Amino acid sequence: MAASQSRPRTALLAGATGLIGAALLALLRHSADYGHTHLLLRRALPGPATDAADARVTPHVVDFAQLSNPRAAPLPAVDDVFIALGTTIKVAGSQAAFRRVDFDHVVATARAARAAGARRLAVVSALGADPNSSVFYNRVKGEMQAAIAELGYESVVIAQPSLLIGDRSALGQPTRAGEVWINRVLKPWRGLVPRGVRPIKASAVAAALLAATLAAQPGVRILGSGDMQQ
């Protein structure tokens, strides 16, 4: 991990209630490289993500659909932006609703943060993201990646994890049957599955994303799932 700057960085995190977002928040809270983290939330929530006693974290309840509105209040000025927003078509209810979260809200957050002065961006995407894919989920993720790469950030890091390992129920999220089933089936054979496609811990993704953001490599950097395995 890179050495601390002369002043601690400030961060903005969207998606702190998800598996990777929660792991990122824990790392940011205890990082010597970051002095303060601003959280973007759809609604105020009890628990670690909105602990009012933590002076290093400030929650902001926002309407993600309005972030692209020119009359919307600007986001706080920060150095680095972490976006871990995401859903599934099943949870969202339709392809259109899925796209609103995984494309519209992600891009709107990145654009609004850049307008407020942020210089480095880290985003969670998915294994198989491809704007030309015939698979809707992968195509939306690929289109999102292409859009954020054009926003003028000095450094962009995109994580493309495979199926995630983590306790969604502990975060108050519904479990994802596909994740549970595949993780259970592959657990005895995980060491034999190629690193690039085997299930990965959400905490490993968060750690890799943070380290790459601190390194601040110019341009766009893709972190494949195999690159992030611990």
pLDDT digits (tens, 9 = 90+) for 63-121: 999 998 888 889 999 999 999 999 989 889 999 999 999 999 999 999 999 999 999 99
Residue 43: its pLDDT value, please? 83
Domain edges within the chain: 9-224
The size of the chain, in residues, is 230
Tell me if 18 sits within 8 A of 48, measured CB to CB.
no
Residues of the chain with pLDDT under 70: 1-6, 45-53, 166-193, 195
pLDDT at position 154: 97
Residue 1: per-residue pLDDT: 43
Instruction: Tell which residue, 154, 161, 149, 158, has the closest CA to residue 107.
Output: 149
| Confidence (pTM) | 0.86
Give the helix/strand (H/E) hosting 186.
Answer: helix 177-186
Listed residue (169, 179, 155, 86) closest to 125, CA to CA: 86
Q: Are β-strands 57-61 and 80-83 bridged in parallel, bridged antiparallel, or unpaired?
A: unpaired
Residue 54: what pLDDT? 76
Under CATH, what is the fold of the domain 9-224?
Answer: Rossmann fold (3.40.50)
Structure tokens, 96: 């259109």
Taking only Cα atoms into account, the Rg of the chain, rounded to an integer number of angstroms, comes to 17
Which pLDDT value is given to residue 104?
Answer: 97
